[in-house]
């Protein structure tokens, strides 16, 4: 196996590729997660490349992965902190220790990178590899300036932290100590039970643990109010509007806070808990419930938020309970507010289910019976097993109609629902950002924003770019560039769905000759490499390795010029914007800078048609040295140089065939003889990864390129430092299309509801068994609304998932704040006037800002007591105007049926520019997502 560059350790003799594959696969299959074991993170793309390599069975395969390189997993390479929100099997893979040791021995690792070693921890309901340990700050109460950073597992007990702190700060053994957890600048909480673990105590990264020691007089230092605030006294003195209360973000828990604020402002549910009706309905025996613990935890949060005594509530106990009963919410990763809401409503229902023993009920098909009869039977059966405040408030009924495509059998059922998940009209277009690399060597890459068909091909991307650049589609090649190499070069007929939004896509312009004269030109993939010397500890000899840098290039080269000498000139011309002449620039700080030479006033042609290697040096011997860039030192530049290209005075030399030396023709050129011995770079044919070197023609003869050819430009470190401006090479410019925001589409909520009730064909993964045909069929399915609940939750399905892509739909859904009318689509026709109440008013909205892998949740809600709208952003609360509520961030909509809405018992604030808290509180303007809101912000302090 060829070793990649930059490693200082020797790679052991590796077994055959088939043996490697079997060993690693066997280790992965045998090893189960056991608490205390060690596993390792490996960057996914490297691991996939390795798998492809060993499957080929050819050690000279172009898929050789090189050294283990986890660069893409780090936020930055100084501290080697992991990036946040990395996803297993998408960003990294986990392998057991023995498999890691094998891979490390066979391939080595990039210098200075630490191994990403992680422990397996036993958490409630799950055993998992702890990718992100908890990093907290430790200090003594008597000296808070001396802070020590330490990492602990979530399975570690608080007692472990206590022992570490006593040792770190040299506390006398046997001294009486106690710990405080500082979660914000104004909040400290006693860690009373040192036998609980870090997870259950809600300690998260970034928090501080303070240790204090008892005073000689028996008091504690924290008993002084100025040191740790007495929150009880503050609560007694503070009086605010009930329900206008923030929720502290415990670490990526904005999704939970958003859902809680919406539920908190759902009047029937909140009043149920405030009057303590739940106490008599707690179901401790329901095997589907949570022993009443979720209901009690939710009750505690609700009572605190509506007590008037809190600026903000810290929902630690609630978060702990949620993680205990739903392992998917363990830890502090970002989650979906709709998923949390779904779990919470189901958990509250089972904890408060009035049915203690659920009877078995056999469901019946309609079999031609009237809808009214079948619907009443279905609802009655549902209530026989499910009877709670959640069913009373949130459950409705829809009609499901299935039709067999073969025998036309019609099956009608009525099913309960807790919320409506409505689809959004799916856009047929997609916005992509690409970098266009022009043929002009002086031009920087240009970043473009394109609108292309979602179901389109790579050809469509090129067509859209062609309209902006006036470059023919046939002269474009599209490539995914990753880690200084071509991860993939796309064909024109490949689907755009294979390209992810996060991929770095480069589109290269090729010369027109490569299109017009098919077969006369070859497209070269050009890598930039730096050579380095390192000591082989096994043999004791010195070896040479390479490392990739910069952006690769694609170039169309005439086949007749595929010699080492001709390619040198072509590459030199192509790179002239990135190279400099040893710093001899007459004061210019940057810009195009490769030195070009001339002989007898004749400039070397840009297309490499000249036969010289450099400045008059003969090409008869491909190994002969050419005039170095250093030859320009002290030589005045030509005032007629073009495009910033620095030219030299002629270095009139000739080659002595036997010695290969550059001999000056005049005494005036003797000073340059020593400098005419070195090329700027050398050229080497390589595999697709730029690691394994291929054979090349001898004596400068033409190379034979059969498949996609990859060529490397190898720089000596000193020459690269003098002649290649890496910072300049990395620069790019933005096209005006990057400044124009993509026009957002607006749809009406009614359109989404109509899509929900549209006839569709079942997916192949979820067929229906037809009782007549006696086989599974892809039947047509139609959902209709039969009855609606008192509080209707509408989930806008903004997140779209396909086999190759995931995206968030940011279109604006225009939803009404009042008088949402379902009379036109509700099937049930009963009541005194022939129709049930069907008009709704909006009471709350959960918002999601950002993309798929990151983002932030907030909420709007209407206070039930004073009718005022508020904006909740974790522990910050601001007044909101109704015209602010409809945005493209709206995700969950809460509607209250008008016949159940009672009038506010308090007058709304007379001036919404004043603080909803006491006048003594500080009020500041609030900004969110770059838009200044014309509202005021209450400083919500953490209790």
Catalytic residues: 254, 856
Is 147:139 a contact under the CB 8 Å cutoff? yes
For helices 254-264 and 316-325, the axis angle rounded to 10 degrees is: 100
Question: Which residues fall within 8 angstroms of residue 547, CB to CB, at 6 or more apart?
Answer: 4, 5, 6, 529, 530, 532
Question: Of 354, 357, 334, 348, which Cα lies nearest the Cα of 418?
Answer: 348
Let me know: does 65 contact 106? Beta carbons within 8 Å. Answer: no
Distance CA 890, CA 858 (A): 9
Whole-angstrom Cα distance, residue 354 to residue 403?
37
Q: What is the DSSP string of 479-520?
A: EEEETTEEEEE--TTSBGGGS-TTS-EEEEE--THHHHSTTT
- Token pair 């935890």: residue: 297
| Torsion over CA: 253, 259, 264, 270 (sign) | negative
Report the C-alpha gap between 266 and 844 in whole angstroms: 8
d(CA 100, CA 121): 19
Report the C-alpha gap between 36 and 353 in whole angstroms: 40
Angstrom distance (rounded) from CA 475 to CA 491: 13
**Cα-atom radius of gyration of the chain, to the nearest Å?**
35
Count of Cβ atoms closer than 10 Å to residue 712 Cβ: 25
693 bridge partner residues:
686
Nearest to 90 by CA among 884, 901, 853, 902: 853
Strand partners, 431: 451
Contact assessment for residue 522 and residue 513, using Cβ atoms and an 8 Å cutoff: no
Kindly state the DSSP code that residue 560 receives in the 8-state scheme: G
**Using DSSP, how many helices (H) and how many strands (E) does the chain show?**
18, 48
Bridge-based pairing of strands 602-603 and 812-814 is: unpaired
Residue by residue, DSSP assigns 222-267 as GGSTTTS--HHHHHHH----TT--EE---SS-HHHHHHHHHHHT-H
Instruction: Provide the b/e sequence for 343-382 (b: ≥16 CB within 10 Å).
Output: bbbbbbbbbbbeeeeeeeeeeeebeeeebeebbeebbebb
Cβ count within 10 A of residue 612: 18
The DSSP secondary structure of 815-827, one letter per residue, reads --SS-EE-TTTB-
């Amino acid at each position: 196996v060829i070793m990649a560059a930059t490693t200082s350790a020797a790679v052991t003799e590796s077994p055959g590729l088939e043996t490697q594959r079997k060993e690693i696969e066997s280790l992965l299959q045998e090893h189960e997660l056991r608490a205390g074991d060690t596993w390792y993170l490996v960057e996914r793309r490297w691991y996939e490349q390795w798998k492809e390599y060993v499957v080929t069975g050819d050690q000279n395969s172009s898929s050789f992965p090189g050294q283990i390189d986890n660069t893409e997993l780090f936020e930055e390479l100084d501290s080697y902190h992991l990036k946040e929100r990395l996803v297993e099997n998408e960003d990294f893979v986990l392998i057991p220790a023995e498999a890691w040791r094998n891979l490390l021995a066979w391939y080595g690792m990039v210098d200075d990178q630490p191994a990403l070693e992680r422990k397996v921890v036993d958490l409630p309901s799950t055993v998992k590899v702890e990718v992100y340990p908890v990093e907290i700050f430790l200090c003594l109460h008597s000296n808070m300036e001396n802070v020590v950073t330490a990492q602990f597992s979530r399975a570690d007990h608080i007692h472990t932290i206590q022992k570490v702190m006593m040792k770190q700060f040299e506390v006398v053994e046997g001294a009486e100590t106690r710990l405080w957890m500082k979660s914000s600048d104004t909040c400290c909480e006693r860690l009373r039970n040192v036998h609980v673990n870090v997870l259950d105590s809600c300690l998260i990264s970034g928090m501080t643990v303070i240790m204090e020691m008892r005073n000689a007089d028996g008091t504690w230092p924290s008993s002084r109010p100025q040191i740790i605030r007495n929150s009880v006294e503050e609560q007694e003195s503070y009086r605010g509007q009930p329900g206008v209360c923030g929720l502290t973000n415990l670490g990526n828990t904005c999704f939970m806070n958003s859902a809680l604020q919406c539920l908190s402002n759902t009047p029937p549910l909140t009043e149920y808990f405030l009057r303590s009706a739940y106490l008599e309905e707690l179901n401790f025996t329901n095997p589907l419930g949570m022993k009443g613990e979720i209901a009690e935890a939710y009750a505690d949060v609700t009572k605190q938020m509506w007590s008037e005594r809190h600026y903000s509530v810290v929902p630690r106990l609630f978060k702990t309970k949620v993680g205990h009963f739903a392992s998917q919410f363990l830890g502090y990763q970002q989650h979906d507010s709709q998923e949390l809401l779904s779990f919470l409503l189901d958990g509250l229902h089972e904890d408060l289910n009035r049915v203690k023993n659920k009877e078995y009920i056999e469901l019946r098909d309609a079999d031609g019976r009237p809808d009214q009869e079948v619907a009443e039977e279905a609802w009655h059966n549902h209530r026989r097993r499910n009877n709670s405040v959640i069913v009373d408030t949130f459950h409705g009924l829809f009609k499901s109609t299935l039709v067999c495509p073969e025998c036309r059998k019609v099956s009608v059922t009525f099913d309960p629902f807790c919320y409506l998940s409505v689809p959004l009209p799916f856009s047929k277009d997609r916005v992509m950002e690409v970098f266009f690399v022009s043929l002009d060597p002086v031009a920087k890459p240009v970043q473009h924003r394109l609108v292309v068909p979602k179901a389109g091909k790579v050809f469509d991307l090129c067509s859209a770019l062609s309209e902006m650049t006036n470059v023919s589609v046939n002269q474009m090649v599209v490539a995914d560039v990753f880690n200084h190499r071509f991860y993939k070069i796309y064909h024109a007929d490949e689907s755009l769905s294979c390209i992810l939004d996060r991929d770095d896509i480069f589109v290269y312009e090729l010369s027109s000759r490569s299109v017009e004269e098919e077969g006369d030109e070859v497209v070269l993939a050009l890598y930039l490499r730096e050579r380095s010397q390192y000591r082989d500890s096994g043999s004791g000899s010195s070896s040479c390795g390479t490392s990739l840098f910069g952006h690769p290039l694609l170039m169309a080269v005439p086949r007749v010029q595929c010699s080492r000498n001709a390619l040198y000139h072509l590459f030199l011309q192509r790179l002239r914007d990135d190279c400099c002449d040893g710093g001899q620039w007459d004061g210019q700080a940057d810009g195009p800078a490769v030195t070009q030479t001339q002989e007898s006033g004749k400039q070397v042609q840009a297309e490499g048609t000249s036969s010289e290697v450099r400045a008059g040096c003969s090409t008869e011997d491909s190994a002969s040295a050419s005039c170095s860039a250093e030859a320009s030192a002290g030589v005045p530049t030509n005032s007629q140089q073009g495009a910033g290209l620095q030219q030299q005075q002629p270095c009139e030399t000739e080659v002595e065939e036997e010695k290969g030396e550059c001999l000056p023709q005049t005494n005036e050129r003797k000073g340059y003889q020593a400098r005419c011995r070195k090329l700027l770079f050398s050229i080497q044919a390589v595999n697709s990864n730029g690691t394994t070197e291929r054979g090349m023609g001898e004596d400068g003869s033409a190379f034979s390129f059969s498949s996609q050819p990859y060529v490397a430009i190898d720089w000596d470190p000193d020459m690269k430092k003098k002649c290649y401006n890496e910072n300049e090479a990395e620069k790019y410019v933005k096209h005006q299309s990057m400044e124009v925001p993509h026009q957002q589409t607006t749809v009406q909520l009614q359109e989404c509801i109509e899509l929900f009730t549209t006839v569709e064909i079942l997916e192949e993964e979820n067929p229906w068994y037809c009782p007549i045909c006696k086989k599974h069929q892809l039947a047509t399915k139609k959902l209709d609304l039969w009855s609606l609940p008192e509080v209707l939750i509408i989930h806008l399905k903004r997140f779209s998932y396909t086999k190759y892509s995931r995206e968030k739909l940011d279109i604006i859904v225009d939803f009404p704040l009042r008088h949402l009318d379902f009379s036109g689509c509700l099937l049930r026709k009963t009541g005194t006037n022939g129709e049930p109440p069907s008009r709704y008013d909006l009471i709350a909205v959960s918002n999601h800002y950002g993309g798929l892998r990151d983002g932030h949740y907030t909420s709007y809600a209407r206070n039930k007591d004073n009718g005022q709208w508020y904006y909740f952003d974790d522990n910050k609360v601001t007044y909101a105007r109704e015209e602010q509520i409809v945005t493209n961030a709206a995700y969950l909509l809460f509607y209250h049926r008008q016949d159940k809405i009672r009038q506010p018992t308090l007058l709304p604030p007379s001036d919404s520019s004043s603080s909803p808290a006491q006048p003594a509180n500080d009020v500041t303007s609030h900004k969110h997502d770059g838009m200044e809101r014309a509202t005021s912000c209450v400083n919500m302090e953490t209790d």
